[in-house]
Amino acid sequence: MKHGWLILLFTLSCSDPAARNTLRTQSDGQKSVVPEPSEENSSSGDSATAPVPNPVPDNKTQVPPTEENGTSVELEVKGISCSSSAVIAKTKKICEATVQGIKVKFVPLAEGVKVSRLAFYLHGDTAADWKNPFVVAPFVEWAASKQILLVMPLSTARYEDDKEGDQSYGAAQPEDAEKLAKLVGEFVAAYKTPSDNLLYFGTSGGPWFMASSYIPVVGGRYPGLFALSCGASTFWQKALWSYKDSSIRSKIKIFFNYGDKDFLLSGEEKSYAYYETQGFVVSKKVYPGATHCNHDVTNATIAFWEANM
């Protein structure tokens, strides 16, 4: 499955465990899944992530000093260390690091600003929108105004014929959901944010993975608001938590955002119906005539989040 911002081919996944290492393409060709990346990927040199001359070596949120027994005391919430940095949205810093063995990019808030909650973006196949975060860039100013940390984990799965440096959430399986859960937990602990009001969003392969594996496997531990744009699956892994537990289920809301000419339309419609029948609060916005990802993502996602935060 190859993902571009406009419609390209998207590889579907299989629910049959015996066949799950063979993914069907639109043309009925086959490609094998490689669940583990064979080597670490290098960052893109795209213009959206131009290098910063003097990257800040650490990402720590500083709280103004207080007086205690006549002595100035500096309090801090330790964040995730920034191993390298670049620029996003023209002026904002974007950090890159490795957390729980996963490459991740995140947009730190201004010094002295405490993170209120976390938002995780799951990219499309080949990770073009991770290397050059053009989907996330329009969210940066809004996130800063809400004290939200934008986090972009790189998929831990890839297709056998992915090029060097490519990673694909469409190839991800339940074990990749468990890996991602460790990263989520690390960010929650590092920024001391609640673990049950997270924000999730993605395009194409990312939503496919969230609908098929992440929500069933991890959703009970890290619930939140899921905005799935131009992607969802036609099958769903067996849940590792009880959907009947309304105390957890009520913390999960799912928004499907897609065009009615999307070649993944079947998965989007079936996932919407599936989660609705399981008792989840689901909503959708359908764009007449729009093809794969050829419609608004930013405004629709923010509107969904703000209506439910």
Mean pLDDT, range 113-134, rounded to an integer: 97
Classify residue 106: in a domain, yes or no: yes
> Does residue 254 lie within any of the structural domains?
yes
0.75 exceeded by pTM: yes
Residue 3 clears pLDDT 60, i.e. is over it: no
The reply to whether 221 falls in a domain is yes
75 vs 199, which has greater pLDDT? Answer: 199
295 vs 27, more confident: 295
3-state secondary structure of 258: strand
Q: Are 166 and 126 in contact (CB under 8 A)?
A: yes
Q: What is the pLDDT, as a whole number, of residue 77?
A: 60
Number of helices (H), then strands (E), in the chain? 8, 14
pLDDT (average), residues 43-53: 38
Which of 57, 38, 44 has its CA nearest to residue 97? 57
Q: What percent of the chain has pLDDT over 90?
A: 72
**Is residue 60 predicted with pLDDT exceeding 70?**
no
| CATH number of the domain where residue 57 is located | 3.40.50.1820
For residue 203, name the pLDDT band (cuts at 50, 70, 90).
very high
- Which residues span the domain enclosing 127? 17-308
pLDDT at 128 exceeding the cut of 90: yes
Domain-located, residue 270: yes
141 touches 89 (CB < 8 A): yes
Is the model more confident about 247 or about 48? 247
Residue 131 in any domain: the answer is yes
Pairing between β-strand 253-259 and β-strand 102-107 as defined by DSSP bridges? unpaired
CB 117 within 8 A of CB 192: no
Residue indicated by tokens 């260390």: 81
Give the Cα separation of 186 and 184 in Å (integer).
5
Q: Is the confidence at residue 78, as pLDDT, over 80?
A: no
User: Is residue 186 situated within a structural domain?
Assistant: yes
Burial class of 166 by CB neighbour count within 10 A (0 to 12, 13 to 18, 19+): buried
pLDDT at 129 (0 to 100): 96
Question: For all residues of the chain together, what is the average pLDDT?
Answer: 82
pLDDT band at 309 (very low <50, low <70, confident <90, very high): very high
Of 37-51, 189-203, 259-273, 281-295, minimum mean pLDDT range: 37-51
Residue 282 lies in a domain: yes
Q: What is the pLDDT of residues 12-38, one digit of tens each?
A: 333 333 333 333 333 333 344 444 433
The neighbour count for residue 192, using CB atoms within 10 Å, is 12
Residue linked to tokens 């583990």: 36
State how many domains the chain has. 1
Average pLDDT over residues 253-277: 98
CA distances for 5 relative to 26, 74, 141, 259, 268, angstroms? 17, 45, 21, 14, 18
